[in-house]
Amino acid sequence: MIGLWRKIRKTGRVAEPAPERADGEVVPRAAELGGSVQIRHVDAGSCNGCEVEIASAFGPVYDAERYGARLVASPRHADALLVTGPVTRNMEVALRRSHEAVPEPRLVVALGDCARDCGAFAGAYGVVGAVKDVVPVDVEVPGCPPPPEAIVEALRGLTGR
């Protein structure tokens, strides 16, 4: 316990100072949310590279939570789906149902090149298509995988903070 306390003291604050927002714009449909966005992450068939980046976006260094974004356990609690990977056949129905399960207003963030246009997996036999072929997409984050800064930036576009 003392050791942990020392560690806390020594580490101090690791969160990087919040960068200035480049465009300062908010996704119009997210304006209603007023600075609080709960996110349900759906892995539609990703290679898990994007997941690693999401984890670090919500880690102490980038601390996406400070802008009012939070990961939640149920789509019923969510405002936005954070979809990664190309939509595989096995996940097509599940993604659609997850989307239906989110109460209005609901947004979809397609995260990573795979989610935008199937990326490296385009044309593969198990892939149905990009996320926008299955559910309407509001925000796209490019990159393979997108860096945490980009993820945080996109989320700030939803929370407006």
Partner 1 sequence: MNLTGTLFVAALGLCLAAAPAAVLTPRRARPLLAGAATTAAGLAGAAAGVTALSGQGWSARLDGVLPLAGVRLDLDPLGAMFVAVTGAVAVCAAVYGVAYARHGLDGRVAQATPPLFVASMLLVPAAASVSTLLVAWELMALTSLLLVLAEHRRRAAVGEAALWYAVMTHLGFAAILAGLAGFAALAGGETFEQLRAAGLPPGARDAVFLATLAGFASKAGIVPLHVWLARAHPEAPSQVSALMSAAMVNMGVYGILRVGLDLLHGGPAWWWLLVLGAGALSALFGILQAAVASDLKRLLGHSTTENMGLVLIGVGAAGFLASGGDSMLAALALAAALLHVVNHSAFKTLLFLAAGSVLHATGTRDLDALGGLRARMPCTTALFAVGALAASALPPGNGFVSEWLLLQSLIHALPTSGVAGAVTMPLAVGVIALSAGLAIATFVKAFGVGFLARPRTPGAERASESPPAMIGGMALAAASCVILALAPATVLPGLSRLAASLVPGSGHPPGPVPVSGEVTLRLTGYEGTISPLLIAVALAIAVIGLLGAVRLFASRRARRAARLWDCGAGPMSPRMEYTATSFAEPLQRVFDDVLEPESDLDVTPTKESAYLVESVRFRARIPDRIERRLYDPVLAAAGALGRAATGLANGSVHRYLAYGFYALTAVLVALAVIW
Partner 2 sequence: MTGLIGAVSQVVLVAVGSPLLAGLMRQVRARLEGRAGAGVAQPWRDLRKLARKEPITPHGTGWVFRLAPLVLAGTVLVVAAVVPLVTTLSPMDGVADLFAVTALLALGSVALALGGLDTGTAFGGMGASREVTVMALVEPTILLSVFALSVRVGSTNLGAIVTSAVHDPLEVISPVSLLAAVALAVVTIAETGRIPVDNPSTHLELTMIHEAMILEYSGPDLALIEWASAMRLSVLLGLLASLFAPWGIATAGAGLAAVVLGMAALVIKVAALGVLLAAGEVFMAKLRLFRIPELLAGSFMLALLAVAASFFLA
Distances (CA, A) of 85 to 22, 29, 89, 115, 132: 26, 24, 12, 5, 12
- Phi, psi at residue 27, to the nearest 5°? -60, 125
**Residue 21: beta bridge partners?**
none
Say which amino acid occupies 129. Answer: G
Question: Taking the complex as a whole, how short is the minimal distance between the CB of residue 41 and ligand SF4, in angstroms?
Answer: 12
A 10 A CB-CB count for 104 gives 6
Check binding of 45 to partner 1 (CB under 8 A): no
| Partner from partner 1, ligand SF4, partner 2, none binding residue 84, C-beta < 5-8 Å depending on class | ligand SF4
Check binding of 124 to ligand SF4 (CB under 6 A): no
Stretch that binds partner 1, among 5-13, 100-108, 109-117, 127-135 (CB under 8 A): 100-108
Residues that bind partner 1 (CB under 8 A): 74-76, 91, 93-98, 100-101, 103-104
